[in-house]
Amino acid sequence: MKKNIHPKYEEATITCACGYVLKTRSTVKEMSVNTCAVCHPFFTGQAKYIDTEGRVDRFHRRYAVKPANK
């Protein structure tokens, strides 16, 4: 490995908008993010699937398996 060409890999602090602080290692000292695993709706169980235009029903109607002829 060549010397003096790699960035320094040091401790870093990642701060979320919700206030959660994560300590890790990175080449960037400080980062701020909008969402994290603590406040993201998918991970907190608050995520809701909303089918506002009936797309799922339309898909099922269009690609439904038709019964075989008897």
Per-residue tens of pLDDT for the chain, all 70 residues = 788 898 999 999 999 999 999 999 999 999 999 888 888 877 777 766 666 677 777 888 888 865 555 4
Which amino acid is located at 28 in the chain? Answer: V
CATH topology of domain 10-62: Rhinovirus 14, subunit 4 (4.10.80)
Residue ranges per structural domain of the chain? 10-62
- Cα of 45 vs its chain's centroid, Å: 13
Q: How many CB atoms lie within 10 A of CB 40?
A: 14
pTM: 0.55
